[in-house]
Amino acid sequence: TSQKLWGGRFTGANDPLMDAINVSVHFDRRLYGADILGSIAYSKALAKNHIISPSERDSLVTGLQQVLQEWDDNKFVLQPADEDIHTANERRLGEIVGSVAGKLHTGRSRNDQVATDMRIWVREEASKLLANLKELIAVAVNRAEREIDVLMPGYTHMQRAQPIRWSHLLLSYAWFWQNDADRLAQYIHRMNVLPLGSGALAGNPFDIDRDFLATELEFRGVVPNSLLGVSDRDFVAEFLFWASLVMIHVSRFAEDMIIYSTSEFGFVQLADTYRRSLRDTNDSIAIVTLPRPPADQSYLSNPPPPSTGSSLMPQKKNPDSLELLRGKSGRVFGQMSGFMMTYKGTPSTYNKDLQEDKEPVFDAVDTLSVSLQITAGVLSTLTIRPDKMRAGLSHDMLATDLAEYLVRKGVPFRETHHIAGAAVKLAEERGTSMAHLNLSDFQDLHPAFVDDVTEVWDFERSVEQRSTQGGTSEKSVRDQIEKLREWLKQG
């Protein structure tokens, strides 16, 4: 007899391809802890409403704790019929406690269950990422303090603009990341509301105490509408946006360091393998706590060294770590936009499309966790070349200071800007630096110039003049360091 090509699903046997697209347990197993927490709380809520007896509750809770232990010990054995983490846990619970397991799901749906699990999981991982961010910020702050005396050219449009402290640049990144950390805390507050008790869509028919559930599961409140409870994946989209923004900051930092490590700049040199050099530095931060890698992504436990040689050109030392950080950012944006495309097409409440929220989030969490740790590792072990940074400073970068000199002598700024421009031009025509022009040259440009104009040609003086809050003077930079340290301490 001929087999009908698409007969499987119509004759009752599952088409293996349909199974392959439907089954999620190979990735959503990562939710096992969150799923069991949710079920334990739900068992208690059922008992509270006398839907199950106290002894039934106790056997559910003990059974669930055993299932959790099996996962933790890596002893949980998945069965072919385990479609997702929720069915797997419930199946196993039944094997342990018998038929009472069938009461656990009373009034609950996988729709409110999975929405709850995801929120618990993301919340948990977000706090680990916060710790990674803080480590990175601490590295930047420590380095900024150690190297506060180092001056370098600051750039706009990739053109040498004004002298700045290297520390000031480092702290600009530290502040980006500090904002990311704040944003994450605000995000966690916003998303930390409980969907459980929404049922499949219309609400819970057994008057389950959702406030009790929220307290048990450490949510600040409940989602106020059951349709919304099962429908809402805004917290997924927002997390992915947050992750993308963090990766923008990582990528921009990486791009700066890539440019500065070229032989054209030579401002920084990457450590050959930062793992080895980590032991040689005094930074006491723990960089090497990689996340438990999911089974199919073992590369995560073995990140590449920060720079490698070229297979062809022996003189090259490539900034692989930084290029990967820059590249990984694209990956995270992809997860965000991919998920948003899925999300936008769904009608109200739960649709199976929403199962596609998990892999993007898992991947973004893994990528961020590794990327933040590698960024911290690269930053704590690179060496700087203050001589090269200093050599990048030229007197024409003090043209603004020259204009400001005249401002201090009472000349309107618009005019001074013009005069300083003329000085730049004159030096250029003479093939010399502005510092080598004579006082009479300056006085030809404006009578307000007197012999203290030579004081302008001092890069330290230039940065020290930027002493307003947020400036690049030593005091302003130390203030920033202090503020960031204060913030880090608040932990």
Active-site annotation, residues? 157, 310
Establish if 283 lies at the interface with ligand ARG (CB under 6 A): no
**C-beta closer to ligand ARG: residue 84 or 135:** 84
Interface with ligand ARG by CB under 6 A: which range of 69-77, 110-118, 369-377, 391-399? 110-118
**C-beta closer to ligand ARG: residue 24 or 371:** 24
Establish if 476 lies at the interface with ligand ARG (CB under 6 A): no
**C-beta closer to ligand ARG: residue 283 or 357:** 357
Amino acid at 231: S
Distance, CA of 49 to chain centre? 42
Amino acid at 448: A
16 φ/ψ sector (left φ>0, alpha ψ -120 to 50, else beta): alpha
**C-beta closer to ligand ARG: residue 214 or 354:** 354
Pick the binder of ligand ARG from 192, 355, 380, 476 (CB under 6 A).
Answer: 355
* Beta-sheet strands, E only, within 131-260: 151-156, 159-165, 193-194, 221-222
Establish if 114 lies at the interface with ligand ARG (CB under 6 A): yes
* Beta-sheet strands, E only, within 98-138: none
Interface with ligand ARG by CB under 6 A: which range of 97-105, 156-164, 348-356, 425-433? 348-356
Residue 347 vs residues 17, 87, 224, 350, 351: alpha-carbon distances, Å: 25, 25, 19, 8, 8
Q: Which element (helix H / strand E) includes 317?
A: strand 317-318
Establish if 354 lies at the interface with ligand ARG (CB under 6 A): yes
β-bridge pairing 193-194 and 317-318: unpaired
End-to-end CA distance of the chain: 70
In sequence order, the 6+-apart residues with CB closer than 8 A to the CB of 114 are: 28, 31, 84, 86, 354, 355
Pick the binder of ligand ARG from 110, 168, 249, 326 (CB under 6 A).
Answer: 110
Question: Between vectors from CA 206 to CA 200 and to CA 211, what angle results, nearest 5°?
Answer: 85
Interface with ligand ARG by CB under 6 A: which range of 36-44, 106-114, 212-220, 324-332? 106-114
Interface with ligand ARG by CB under 6 A: which range of 201-209, 264-272, 351-359, 369-377? 351-359
Establish if 24 lies at the interface with ligand ARG (CB under 6 A): yes
Tell me the closest approach of the beta carbon of residue 80 to ligand ARG, in angstroms: 16
Establish if 111 lies at the interface with ligand ARG (CB under 6 A): yes
Tell me the closest approach of the beta carbon of residue 211 to ligand ARG, in angstroms: 24
Pick the binder of ligand ARG from 35, 82, 84, 90 (CB under 6 A).
Answer: 84
**C-beta closer to ligand ARG: residue 286 or 341:** 341
- For helices 234-261 and 358-381, the axis angle rounded to 10 degrees is 30
Q: Which element (helix H / strand E) includes 308?
A: strand 308-309
- For helices 234-261 and 166-191, the axis angle rounded to 10 degrees is 170
Tell me the closest approach of the beta carbon of residue 109 to ligand ARG, in angstroms: 7
Interface with ligand ARG by CB under 6 A: which range of 6-14, 313-321, 336-344, 346-354? 346-354
**In terms of residues, how long is the chain?**
491
Establish if 27 lies at the interface with ligand ARG (CB under 6 A): no
7: tokens are: 């007969």
Establish if 350 lies at the interface with ligand ARG (CB under 6 A): yes
**Contact (Cβ atoms closer than 8 angstroms) between residue 133 and residue 181:** yes
Q: Which stretches of the chain bind ligand ARG, using CB under 6 A?
A: 24, 28, 84, 110-111, 114, 350, 352, 354-355
